């Protein structure tokens, strides 16, 4: 990932927060001689290993679990807030017109090594944790134990667990840091006028860096 210095983000708390808030990631790996991309909900475990670990599961039909090499390096991409930035929002447009469109975004690449897990208890605990996390906001949360035990056991036989021990993070926050105060303020105003979730979230990120 191309990372001009002004866009590099190394603050652990921001990187962790982006992953927790955007847990549906893209796992990039090599399967045989081809690049593979798997889109998965992941559980981030910052307390495991030195830099944390990611837990997920895949179908046994996915060739990744059979064809990976022990200790294979992988990368998981977590996409955070992003939005199109119109040049018409910049104060500079009225001054000299030398402006072009761009796209603002925050993204984390988590690099690590892949471990395959086939243990029944690990898988059951993982599915319980994943389910409880995603059901907690509902009035009547569904629990794994709501389904027949034999049915759950049969489902577990069809999946494989993944643990990725994180070795490093690459964080990139491209949020108009290269613009002057007036242009930043213009972008914030333009984003707020868009009135959608991503636009409002990006406007808040830019407001936080305006000096």
Summarised one tens digit per residue, pLDDT across range 102-116 is: 999 999 999 999 999
In a domain, 184, yes or no: no
Q: Is residue 152 part of a domain?
A: yes
Number of domains into which the chain is organized: 1
Per-residue pLDDT reduced to its tens digit, 136-186:
999 999 999 999 999 999 999 999 999 999 999 999 999 999 999 999 999
With respect to residue 44, please indicate whether it lies within any of the assigned structural domains. yes
* Residue 177 CA: distances (Å) to CA of 115, 139, 155, 172, 191: 38, 41, 48, 12, 16
């Amino acid at each position: 990932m191309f990372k001009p210095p002004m866009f590099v983000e190394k603050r652990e708390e921001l990187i962790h927060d982006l992953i927790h808030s955007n847990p549906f990631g893209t796992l990039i790996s090599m399967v045989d001689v081809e690049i593979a991309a798997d889109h998965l909900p992941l559980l981030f475990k910052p307390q495991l290993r030195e830099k944390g670990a990611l837990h997920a599961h895949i179908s046994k039909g996915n060739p990744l679990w059979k064809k990976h090499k022990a200790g294979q390096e992988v990368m998981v991409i977590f996409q955070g807030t992003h939005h199109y930035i119109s040049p018409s929002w910049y104060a500079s447009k009225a001054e000299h017109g030398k402006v072009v469109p761009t796209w603002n975004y925050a993204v984390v690449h988590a690099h690590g090594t892949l471990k395959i897990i086939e243990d029944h208890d690990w898988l059951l605990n993982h599915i319980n944790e994943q389910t409880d996390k995603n059901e907690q906001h509902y009035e009547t949360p569904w629990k794994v134990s709501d389904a027949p035990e034999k049915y759950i056991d049969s489902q577990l036989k069809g999946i494989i667990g993944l643990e990725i021990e994180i070795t490093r993070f690459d964080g990139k926050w491209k949020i108009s840091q290269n613009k002057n105060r007036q242009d930043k303020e213009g972008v914030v105003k333009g984003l707020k006028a868009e009135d959608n979730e991503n636009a409002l979230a990006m406007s808040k990120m830019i407001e936080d860096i305006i000096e």
